[in-house]
Amino acid sequence: MSLGLVKNIVIVGGGTAGWMTAAAMSALISNGCKIRLVESDEISTIGVGEATIPVIRGFNQLIGVDENEFLRQTQGTFKLGIEFVNWSKQGESYIHGFGVIGRDQLLAKFYQYWLKLYQAGKAPGVEHYSINTMAASMNKFMRAASDSGDSPLSDISHAFHFDAGLYAKYLRGLSEARGVRRTEGRIVDTVLRADDGFVEAIVMENGERIEGDLFVDCSGFRGLLIEGALKTGYEDWSHWLPCDRAIAVPCESVSPLLPYTRATAHDAGWQWRIPLQHRIGNGHVYSSKFMEPEQAESILMNNLDGKPLAQPRHLKFTTGKRKRAWNKNVVAIGLAGGFMEPLESTSIHLVQTGITRLLMMFPHLGYDQADIDSFNEATDNEYVAIRDFLILHYKLNAREGKPFWDYCRNMEIPATLQRRMDLYRSNGRIVRASDELFTETSWLQVMHGQGLRAKGYHPLVDQRSEADIAAFLANVKDVVLRCAEHMPTHEEYIASCCAA
């Protein structure tokens, strides 16, 4: 891609966001443009982003990363979905598996046929029709088989768990080899142009001035340029997503190696469990209004599967997003742009879409407000859709008698989300925009998994007899089960990918 007027790009920050940006830009941008990344060894990265969603595979392909090499470099494992434990009632669990469920028909989506029989008490849970969920529950894994025709084996949809610190290190190697210049040191000031307030330069502790045409702010929660220099403002969503603290601690691995993330609800939040090859990543996300840090830490430490490998690390955050992700000549990517808790592993995805959107709207002819507005509108829509999906998990809890969960169950929710829940409850309809991240099957699994029951189903389903639908569903269930049984264990599959 030709860069036109942008000759110097400065990336501020070398966490996952900074190095993903550097890797993508250095892979896709040419024409003598200089890319410089500035990071401070004294200011640590967040580095706990370890669980992802399937779209990361497209990003890795875009920047030329081989999947097996990526697994070796990052101690990665495969992820088929997320298990939610105790989110509805204590003792109940469900899996939100990636990918399709059953086979959609010309007349109606698969889940509409399932709804009809499920409502009549003649079909088991929806998980039986998902290859991802069935494989996950059996600790099985393989990549989608491209040569298996109409078999569910071609439907397997995977993401990864990985060590975010190792990923950033790996991307740094790739980026530097492609000409990205890294500068280590602390940024202490920002110089704004007098006429239009654009950022002209950043100033390092040693007095060096680094000028740029475009600044990508990847400085983490600080938002050094987007907030510190440009005072863009932040939209706070903590009344809908009240968790504002996290404690992270790795522990020793245990067998079997699960091919999914686990999210277990506790009294004022939830705990993540992310299995990597060399350790398990754990963390407790909680609300400081409802729990003290000491209690939150003790819950986490008492619920580890292996011996802790480090001291627990306490983090604070405010859920929400920057009012404008792109302001003047600064684009905020990663935590500098906003943060929503890792319940559905969406932060690294937002980094990725921020980068690809910036490349699509690149200001090669200079800064145009229409481009900037369009970038910001798309970013806002993306954040809002993910936000609603996360709120759904909290709103639909049945953990009665726990103040945090009572608050979440009774809170007012965005009208956009209320409408989606109402549509599903009345007719089993799931309505979403075509470019939204989470699919109908994602919404179905979470709404149903958290106990929301549809009263109806699509009337076109009635064009087929009940016996015909029953035979169709039974066949899908049977084939999915046999395919999952046929797959290797997750551990076996990882070993085959990582063999030299």
Residue 102 backbone phi and psi in degrees, to 5 = 60, -155
Q: Which of 22, 23, 26, 39 binds ligand FAD (CB under 6 A)?
A: 39
209 and 203 Cβ atoms separated by less than 8 Å? yes
Minimum gap (Å) between residue 262 Cβ and ligand FAD: 12
Stretch of 113-121, 149-157, 329-337, 476-484 lying at the interface with ligand FAD (CB under 6 A) = 329-337
353 and 382 Cβ atoms separated by less than 8 Å? yes
> In which residue are the tokens 């699994």 written?
445
CA 184, CA 206: separation in Å to the nearest integer?
A: 11
Q: Which of 49, 76, 152, 363 binds ligand FAD (CB under 6 A)?
A: 49
> Cβ of 72: how many Cβ atoms within 10 Å?
17
Judged by CB under 6 A, the number of residues near ligand FAD is 39
Q: Which residues have CB under 8 Å from 98's CB, separation 6+?
A: 53, 54, 79, 80, 81, 132, 157, 158, 159
Residue closer to ligand FAD, measured from CB, 43 or 421 = 43
Q: According to the binding rule CB under 6 A, does residue 219 interact with ligand FAD? A: yes
CA 298, CA 383: separation in Å to the nearest integer?
A: 32
Q: Which of 3, 25, 45, 391 binds ligand FAD (CB under 6 A)?
A: 45
Helices (H), 120-260: 131-137, 164-177
Q: Which of 485, 425, 454, 11 is nearest to 225 (CA)?
A: 11
Cα 384 to chain center, whole Å? 14
Stretch of 216-224, 365-373, 412-420, 433-441 lying at the interface with ligand FAD (CB under 6 A) = 216-224
Contacts 24+ apart (CB under 8 A), 418-423: 420/388, 420/392, 421/392, 421/395, 421/396, 421/447, 421/452
CA 337, CA 16: separation in Å to the nearest integer?
A: 13
Minimum gap (Å) between residue 172 Cβ and ligand FAD: 10
Residue closer to ligand FAD, measured from CB, 26 or 112 = 26
Q: Which of 24, 101, 216, 246 binds ligand FAD (CB under 6 A)?
A: 246
Helix (H, G, I), strand (E, B) or coil at 246: strand
Residue closer to ligand FAD, measured from CB, 214 or 274 = 274
CA 270, CA 286: separation in Å to the nearest integer?
A: 6
228 and 215 Cβ atoms separated by less than 8 Å? no
Q: According to the binding rule CB under 6 A, does residue 238 interact with ligand FAD? A: no
Q: According to the binding rule CB under 6 A, does residue 229 interact with ligand FAD? A: no
Q: According to the binding rule CB under 6 A, does residue 75 interact with ligand FAD? A: no
Q: According to the binding rule CB under 6 A, does residue 164 interact with ligand FAD? A: yes
CA 241, CA 391: separation in Å to the nearest integer?
A: 6
Residue closer to ligand FAD, measured from CB, 10 or 123 = 10
Find the binding residues for ligand FAD in span 264-283 (CB under 6 A).
Answer: 283
Residue closer to ligand FAD, measured from CB, 186 or 453 = 186
Stretch of 44-52, 83-91, 207-215, 235-243 lying at the interface with ligand FAD (CB under 6 A) = 44-52
> In which residue are the tokens 């932040």 written?
234
Find the binding residues for ligand FAD in span 332-361 (CB under 6 A).
Answer: 334-336, 342, 345, 347-348, 351
Contact positions vs ligand FAD (CB under 6 A): 13-18, 38-40, 43, 45-52, 164, 186-187, 218-220, 222, 224, 246, 248, 283, 315, 317, 334-336, 342, 345, 347-348, 351
